[in-house]
Structure formats: structure tokens, C-alpha cells
Amino acid sequence: MFKTICPSCGGELVFRSKTTVLCVCTFCRSNVVRHDLDLELLGKQSELMPDMSPLQLGAIGKYKNKSFSIVGRQIMKWDDGRWNEWYIVFNDGNGAWLSEAQGEFAVFESSEEINIDLLSNVEKVNGLEIQGKVYGVVDQKNAICIGSEGELPFQVVKGYKTKNYDLSDGEEGFATLDYPEDDKPRLYVGKFVLLRDLQIIGLRAFEGWKTIGQK
Amino acid sequence: MAKNKNSVTKPVVKSFNCPHCGAVLTIKAVGLSVSVSCKSCHSLIDVNDPNYKILQVSAEKRKVVPVIPIGQRGVLGGNVYECIGFMERGELPYTWREYLLFNPYVGFTWLFEYDGHWSLVKRIRKLPQGRRNAQYYRGQTYKLFSHTAAQVLYVEGEFYWRVKVGETSTIEDYISPPFILSKEKANSEVIWTLGRYMEPERITKAFNLNPLTMPYEIGVGANQPSPTKQIFKTRFKISLIFAFICFIVFIYTNSRNKDSRVFSQIYNHSKPLEEFNTPSFEIAEDNRNLLIKVHSIVHNSWIYLDALLVNDESGKGIPLPIEVSYYVGSDWSEGSQNSSRMEFNVPKGTYHLNIKPFADGGKSEITYTLELINDVSLNGTFFFVLVLLFVAPAFSLFQSVYFESKRWGNSVEIPD
């Protein structure tokens, strides 16, 4: 953990994960980018549009018997809606993504850069072989980041545009190919999960709704 | 950080004015809902758009009243759900109604209603494996039930995609009651859902509805579990157990039957026929049955033996009259050249038969074989009991088949 003060407002700024590159200040919503010990300001964000997501920063949970905490989020928007990408950090310091779309959740544990040739091949054959399994493209859309909060492993700020491919192996396996406008494409491989299986403590509590696990 | 961690916040609600008529609209699944129908002018509005773009003005093909009102909450499968959307789909006059249910922690679930039959439906991510006119999913084979085109006919409330009245999709339904697997194809997107049949009473109770407003249950639902199928299975099992017991008893008693021939003789009498006594014979088994068999080559004629089984010691007689008659024409026949009758509970002892033979006028002499068998094993009884045993399961099997025929009578397919 790395504690410092926001270069913009002087409020406390915490980098919980060693993988964190960008941190949005809780107080003044400045984008603070970390270069080792140097901090760089990258403008400010407006308040996030509220939503009914049951997740929030600071909540902790379990995946494959490993504890994680939710440290950041980016909100993505496309023509037909929006979704949340929650950045989670495991106890061992490794980061992963917990994506939340249309009330469904998926955890992407591995992510790797891929080269452009592979991407064009995915477009050509409408699929990809990942870890010996054939994944077919099930959806493809252009998305734009409309806001972020907390810690993120990239310099992703509002307005960041990306082309997004969803791939499925026909089982619970799920993969996303993310091709940002000005970056290299990345492949995220993961699985659909049920929120209750993540045993999350610190879910958002809404008046009139029982959180899961609550009797 | 970690703001609001343990505090309870008010649910996020988004309110805005309908860009068409100005009515105040509220969104419950904020961040998830993409389109909403204006409750006063029925325009469809893009919630995702900062200016609330109108997707469709006054989109209404016909007015439908949802049984579960928008905003109503109910408990299904242990989760509280709020009904946030309603739509009617189908191809007139065949329509069904879909209720979109929301819980911020569980996500979305659907309730489908067709002809008063309800199913709780959820999207599935694991894809079924296709077989010929069937699908295989999680150890279960689902049979193709219908293949139809459906159009959105009426919309109320909010949805997590851009809904449009008039939009069509093709739907394939596969059933393995109480489950129904559906494949919905709209444009290039394919969505699989799994539904489970729900008794209408459960819906009424879950959402606290007035039973009188519930749609009538018509016929058999596509994935309605057959009540008689289970009865048939139970009855069949019970019958099978009893049949087995009978079989054991039958084998046991059969092994004890002696089937001993106590008397056998060929007789030839010339007319005039006279009364006579057979030699004495021994009936060894006490109170067992006795079978009397007569065989005679009669042809368009008859013989009649007025026989009396007489106990040598007591002189008491048991009448055993028996007739053999056989008539035949060019395309018919009646009777047989063999005849038999059985007497039960004959005490053991030494007996003889006293016989007064009679015959019709034709021939001058008659010939016949007379046989007496003691303690005969009765196969017929066993088979008779067997038939009786399976009457009940056969009846429920018939009911079950009838139920299935009613179900499959609703099966539809669009020609390829």
C-alpha cells in the first residue's frame, strides 16, 4: 500500500495495489497517475452517474478461495446501454476484473496483450482458440468510458474509446477482446459467476431491499 | 474511500419528463435499464441518451393489462423481485405475456404467461447441444415443441435493452417438463433461456394478486408437468411389486401341485346307450381340484355324459355332467371335440364314476376318451390376477397419453 496526498486538493490518496497506475481522488475527483513516486495530474472527472449496482469500492469477496477487494471501477457505455468493470485486487497483489452487465457478473483473472494479427484473425473466423478451447464471438460493440473511480491499472479516463468483442466457449467460459483506440488489443479470459458465490461483504445496502446473505 | 460501506442508501431512482408528452417517468433499475415506455403516451424512450431520445412515438398496437402491475413486488424462489417491465409478444391471435422482474443483487428474471400457464425464466450462458429436433442441456434431453416467429405487440415499463413494438424474432422452444429451453434469435444475437413451470396459485400468492384477475388456464401448458405421469409411474411400480409377489406364490404353489392323472380310459359304446360304472380309482390329494376331460371325434353331432363322481365308502356323489359338441359349416364352426370342467375341493378317497351317456341320433356308436386329473396347477389364475393388477396403471397410462396428446396438440412449427 502506498499512501500519499492528492497533488490537487491535498486529501489523502491511497494506492492499495502495486498494479495501480491511475487513482481517482475521492475528494476532488482528480485523475492522479503514479510514476513510481512521482504523481501526475491528468484533469478532473465529473461526479459519476449513480446506478443500482450492488457493488462498491472497498467491498471484499472471495473467488476460487482467494480473497479480493474492489479497488476501482470504470463505467463503459455503448449504443444499447452501459456496464461496469470493477477492478479487484487479490491478497497476493494480483489484479483482475469483475465485470457487471445486464445484472450478470463475470470474473476475468487473466489478461494479456495480443498482437494485431491475432485480432484480425478473430474478425475473420469469428472466433479464437484459448487454452485449447474454441471461443466464438457472441457480441461486438464500440464502447466509451463515461467515468471511473478508485484505482485502475491503466490510464483509462473518461472519453477513452474501445472496440469490444465478447467470446464464449459455450460453457461458462467467457472472454473479452478489448481494442482501445490508442493502445494495443488485450484479451481477458474469465468465467460467469453468481454474485452470491463471491461471498461479498460490504455490498451496497438499498432501503427496501435485502442484500443477499441477509435473513 | 469505502463510503457508505455499512450505511443503507435509498435506492437510486431516476426521474425525468417524457420528451413527447411531458409525463414524469421514473427508472428503477438505474444504470441497467436502456429503454422505458411512457405510461401516459406509450412512447418508447432511450434512457441511455442524455436528451432522452424518443425511440418510438406512441408505440401501441393494442392495449393489454398486465396481471402483475409494474412496481409490484413478490417473492419467488426465496428472492424478492420487483416487476419493472411488461410486454406482450407473439403472432396474433397466439400471444403470450412477459414480465421482467428485477432484484439489484440477483439481476433479472422473467415470468412468461401463455394461456394461463406460467414459467419462471432465466437467461443461461452454457449453451445446449443440438440434436435432431432436440437439445441436450445439463443431462436432460429437450424435445422441440414449437418454432415460431414473435412480434412485440405491447410494452409497459423499463427494459435493459432497446425495446421496440413491432420488432420480430424467431423462437424455438424445447421441452422437458417442467422445464422449457428457448432459443431466441433477433438480428444476429442468439439468447438461450431456461424456464420452469409455475403453478398459477404460486404467482397469485407471490405477488399478492386477486385470483379473479388471473388469466384462465386453458388446456395443457407446453412445459406443464403431467400429473398422471407420476401417478402412472407409482401405480406401475406398485403393480410390479405385487406381480412379483404373485409370481413367487405361483411358483411355490405350482411346485406343490401334483398334476396326477388318476383315471384314463377310451370308451366305445354301441346304441342303445346304457348307464355304467367305471372301475374304482384313488384320489390321493385331499381337498384339491379335479379336472375331468373328455375328447370325442364328434362332427356335426354331440355326446353328453351325465357323470356322477361317487365315493366308494360313503356312497356320496358329486355330479360332473359334461358335453362334447362340434358343429361345422363351410365358413363357421361351433364347439370343440374337447371338453373339460373342474371341480374344486374334492376330498381324498376311493371313487368311481357313474356315467349315463347320451348322443344324438346319427351314428350307431360313440367313442370317447375320459380323463381325470387331480391337483391341477392353475396358470390361468396367475394371468388373470396379472391382468387385474395392471388395470390401474393402464388407466393412468391412458390418462397420461391423453394429457401428452393435448400438450403436443399445441405444438407449432413454421415451415422452413
A40 touching B (Cβ < 8 Å):
no
Least confident of A89-98, B199-208, B247-256, B277-286: B247-256
Residue type, B61: K
Average pLDDT over residues B39-66: 85
Please report the pLDDT score of residue B3 as a whole number.
Answer: 46
A chain contacts of residue B6, beta-carbon cutoff 8 Å: 202, 205
Give how far A207 is from chain B: nearest CA, Å.
Answer: 5
pLDDT confidence of residue A142: 93
* Amino acid A215: pLDDT: 41
Q: Which triple of cell numbers denotes residue A93?
A: 497483489
**What does each C-alpha distance from B56 to B42, B132, B149, B186 come to in angstroms?**
9, 40, 22, 18
The predicted pLDDT at position B379 comes to: 75
DSSP structure class, residue B213: G
- Closest partner residue to B126 (CB to CB) among A171, A195, A206 is A171
pLDDT tier at B119, thresholds 50, 70, 90? very high
Average pLDDT over residues B19-26: 91
What pLDDT score does B2 carry?
A: 43
**Bridge partners of residue B62, in order along the sequence:** none
Q: What's the rounded mean pLDDT across residues B16-33?
A: 91
Amino acid at B400: S
Q: Taking residues B304-333, what's their average pLDDT? A: 93
The pLDDT, as a whole number, for residue B183 is 95
Contact B196, B119 (CB under 8 A): yes
Per cent of chain B over pLDDT 70 is 97
Model confidence band, residue B326 (pLDDT cutoffs 50, 70, 90): very high
Contacts across the A-B interface (CB distance below 8 Å): 112
Q: Do A58 and B161 touch (CB under 8 A)?
A: no
**Phi, psi angle pair for B172, to nearest 5°:** -110, 125
Q: Flag residues of chain A having pLDDT under 70.
A: 213-215
How far, in whole angstroms, is CA A121 from its chain's centroid? 25
Q: What is the CA radius of gyration of chain A?
A: 17
- Grid cell for residue A194: 453468481
ipTM above 0.95, yes or no: no
B341 and B255 Cβ atoms separated by less than 8 Å: no
Q: Which amino acid is at A119?
A: L
Q: Which of B1, B48, B127 sits opposite A58 (nearest CB)?
A: B1
Mean pLDDT of B21-32: 91
Determine how many CB atoms are found less than 10 A away from the CB of residue B339.
22
Cβ atoms B140, B176 nearer than 8 A: yes
Taking an 8 Å cut-off on Cβ atoms, the answer to whether B125 and A168 are in contact is yes
Instruction: Determine which helix (DSSP H) or strand (DSSP E) holds B191, and give its type and residue range.
Output: strand B189-198
Is there a contact between B31 and A174 if contact means CB atoms under 8 Å apart?
Answer: no
Q: Which of A203, A206, A159 is nearest to A45 (CA)?
A: A159
Sign of the CA dihedral with A123 first, then A124, A126, and A131 last? negative
* Grid cell of B301 as nine digits: 353331432
Q: What pLDDT is stored for residue B370 in this prediction?
A: 95
pLDDT at B33: 93
Chain A residues in contact with B81 by the CB 8 A cut-off are none
Q: Which residues of chain B from 101 to 140 reach within 8 Å of chain A, CB to CB?
A: 102-108, 123, 125-127
Distance from CA of B51 to the nearest CA of A (A): 14
Strand ranges for B48-178 from DSSP E: 54-56, 73-76, 79-91, 94-103, 107-114, 117-123, 129-131, 134-137, 140-159, 168-176
The answer to whether A52 contacts B12, with C-beta atoms less than 8 Å apart, is yes
